[in-house]
Amino acid sequence: MADSSVKNAGGAGAGAVYGLGLLGALVYYIQTATGFWDGVWGVIQALFWPAFLIYGALDALNL
């Protein structure tokens, strides 16, 4: 039993980082929304913020 808990030790940290990023992104995008549809788009962006982050990083690196 001890082996299975060691194998999954890093999973909780990744979930916590995603959760904090989700909350932060929701607050940011909702505060900067100028209308209803901007708010809806902000919620979608907040759900998929890692994809937008990686896309922006690769775009900045011209890859």
DSSP string, 1-29: -HHHHHHTTTHHHHHHHHHHHHHHHHHHH
27-42 pLDDT per residue, tens: 999 999 999 999 999 9
Domain borders along the chain are: 35-63
Q: Is the pTM of this model over 0.95?
A: no
pLDDT category at 1 given cuts 50, 70, 90 is: low
Residues 37-63 have a mean pLDDT of: 91
Span 8-32, average pLDDT: 82
Confidence of residue 50 (pLDDT cuts 50, 70, 90): confident
